[in-house]
Structure 1
Amino acid sequence: METIMIIGSAGSVGHDMMYQIASMGLPIKVIGADVDEEKGRYEIEEALHTAHNFGHYPDLSFEKINLFDIDGTSEFLKEHQPKVICNLASLGSWWITRLLPQEEYEKIGPVGPWLPNHLTLAHKLMLAVKKSGIKTGVVNGAFPDATNVVLSKLGLEPVCGGGNMDLGLGRVRRIIARTMKVPFRTVQLYGVGHHGAYYTARMGGPYYVRVIVDGEDVSEQWPNERITKLYQDAGYGAITQYKTALVDQMRTASSFLKHVLAIYNETGEVHTCVTGVEGLPGGYPARLSRDGAEIVLPGISRKEAIRINEEGAKIDGIERIKDDGTVVFCDK
């Protein structure tokens, strides 16, 4: 049985992903890998306990990994030959700054300048993948809207990322279904947008969305202004400071797992908005496979889609990313 490897499996997104897999009843083999061996083994045991309670018996196991050891990681990958790798490792989780008091949080720059926290381990992993020579598809969860762009320019391109605008459009899909009083399953969205537009600007930045309801294009009924107002009226735009560490990130985990399984099963499905594809900033509707991602744009040109995401990146403080991978931050 071919293997899925989740790196960072002891973290909040990683262990949620493990629990989701455990509850799905899939005949699947998954290796959780993390530098924190004690917590990593604990989370696997918890996931197995969950699976067994539901009468499911997935092949879940744990292995310690140190991404700073590129040679060791390369040998580790050659040994296990994962079909898909989901990287969730970072030196600084996004929610850390949200533990600060609101007035202190507002003094901190946008997420862009925090890029080294997210890029470092992803870069080392991709160097190890390249050195190992294995054929695998990598889903990178560490700020893929920008990290994947840098990695691509270095010849180390993952297949894709997840989360971010995909999460925003998931909420928009529910808003549309409730407003139009139609079953949720009849609403399909295809969108373009950056983390900056979704998270930093609370859907107040530039984005594009095509809305299909029961097979009919109703996009004209859903201009950005209407979507953004309903989104914020629903409370999705609120900024919340956390009192303790963020333990659960089920929405984010499910977004990444959706992309992991699409690559693993070669579904050929076009997904709503996939971040970090084809070495471009932000997210786009895309079809995923182990060989890479294919952007599929309905009703918008590639040039305009890229422009929208470059503008979204500026909201996160990223002016541009040069051809050599150098990141130029905005002055403010």
Structure 2
Amino acid sequence: MNRPRHVVVLGTGAFAGTLTKAFAQRASGPTVVHVVSGDHDRARNLAALANAHAVLADRSVRFCPHRLDVAGGADLRPLLGRHQPQVLVVCSSEYSPGEMRGHPSAWTHLVGAAGFGVTVPLQAATALRAASAVEASPGTAVVNACFPDAVNPVLHGAGLPVLCGLGNVSTLVGLIRSELRVSDESRLKVLAHHAHLHSPPTADRDIRAWFDDQPLTAAHDILQRGRRRPRADLNEIGAVSGAAVIDALTHPSDYYVGHVAAPEGRPGGYPVVITGRSVALRLPPGLSERQAVDRNQRWSVLDGITVDRQGKAHFAPAALDVLRTHWPDCPATFGPQDIEELRTRQLILRERLLQLPAPTPEPRKTYDTPESL
């Protein structure tokens, strides 16, 4: 019998839970999945549920819970060093999109007005710690599911080995595939950003999609219908799609054709081919890699932030204006080395703003691309 491969999943939230259960039903070979959380009951319950899914699907997968609070400073290196996993999946951060669906407050208003990019320090801190820990397991592929479109470029700029991200572009591809009834993902090539989970200011700033290498002009209308669905449903689509990526990296076959967010630190999401542990873009005819990356970089501004090739983040001017109403000395730019300090300051800011009522809603601002980009 083949020796089992190992996967570490960091986090037990909604995305991690759906991803783990989906992997339980599709793993191609013997696998041990280590479910890691600071809350042992959540890790134990998710592992038990995923084990049931694996048995019912007749898959040779075993799930083991671990109590380890990486966000709180716990060291992930001993676990990685002991098991040498094929893949480390980061699904844990100090910000959840679910906050925007909860009770309105000055904090939710700030994120809505400034853009999702304001959360980068809260999204990136745990990912930075986790990716740094793979020095104990050099063969481990790091896959980040926490706002990868912006966080992965930060990690890459820090010299950390992040291979790709999950969700976002795959969610949008899933909506298109569902409406067109396309079972073969290789027929689609979609260029998209996390920001496109929301309707863009104008249709010409929406995703670009190709079906059998021909422009898919119906993409905007399809997504407008899909975006009206509950956000939890969209989250689930991205997580289920992610299970195929994790399986391809854990049990490599000839190749895997699909879509991932932020491959090798590029901003946004792309169509890719995964062969072994390498991820290559599969762009439509006439579109160069530079053009694809530049387009995703321009779309990044819709989230209120861009990250350059050195991993330095730049708040869009309008986003910075909103931030400085509550955080007067908020930096306009920051690098990977600044994440820990900004994360601490944002946690304090969030706690304060959560106690304040949301002001009267204002129209969402439209951001222009900074001239420096």
Partner SS, residue 135 of structure 1: coil
Partner SS, residue 274 of structure 2: strand
Q: Over the residues paired in the alignment, what is the CA RMSD in angstroms?
A: 2.9
Partner SS, residue 62 of structure 1: strand
Hey, what's the Cα distance between the residues in 2 that align with 1:248 and 1:285?
19
Question: Could you tell me which residue of structure 2 aligns to residue 274 of structure 1?
Answer: 260
Question: Could you tell me which residue of structure 2 aligns to residue 174 of structure 1?
Answer: 178
Determine if the alignment matches structure 1 residue 36 to structure 2 residue 39: yes
Determine if the alignment matches structure 1 residue 93 to structure 2 residue 96: yes
Determine if the alignment matches structure 1 residue 211 to structure 2 residue 211: yes
Equivalent in 205, 219, 237 of residue 251 of structure 1: 237
TM-score by length of 2: 0.74
Change (3 A) 1:25 1:69: closer
Partner SS, residue 69 of structure 2: coil
Hey, what's the Cα distance between the residues in 1 that align with 2:229 and 2:291?
30
Question: Could you tell me which residue of structure 2 aligns to residue 197 of structure 1?
Answer: 196
Equivalent in 57, 61, 80 of residue 77 of structure 1: 80
Hey, what's the Cα distance between the residues in 2 that align with 1:169 and 1:203?
20
Change (3 A) 1:287 1:151: same
Matches within 5 A, 1:228-307: 228-232=220-224, 235-238=225-228, 249-289=235-275, 291-299=277-285, 300-307=287-294
Any stretches of 5+ residues in structure 1 without a counterpart? Answer: 178-182
Hey, what's the Cα distance between the residues in 2 that align with 1:83 and 1:38?
25
Partner SS, residue 226 of structure 2: coil
Hey, what's the Cα distance between the residues in 1 that align with 2:233 and 2:45?
15
Hey, what's the Cα distance between the residues in 2 that align with 1:40 and 1:203?
42
Using the TM superposition, name which of 167-176 and 74-83 deviates more: 167-176
Partner SS, residue 155 of structure 1: coil
Contact 2:200–2:206 (Cα < 8 Å) also in 1: no
Question: Could you tell me which residue of structure 1 aligns to residue 164 of structure 2?
Answer: 160
Matches within 5 A, 1:55-70: 55-56=58-59, 58-68=61-71
Determine if the alignment matches structure 1 residue 309 to structure 2 residue 296: yes
Partner SS, residue 94 of structure 2: coil
TM-score by length of 1: 0.83
The alignment-based identity, stated in percent, is 22
Hey, what's the Cα distance between the residues in 2 that align with 1:309 and 1:201?
13
CA displacement at 1:87 relative to structure 2? 0.9
Change (3 A) 1:46 1:304: same
Encode CA deviations 1:269-288: one digit per residue, 9 max, x unaligned. 35332111122100112223
CA displacement at 1:248 relative to structure 2? 9.7
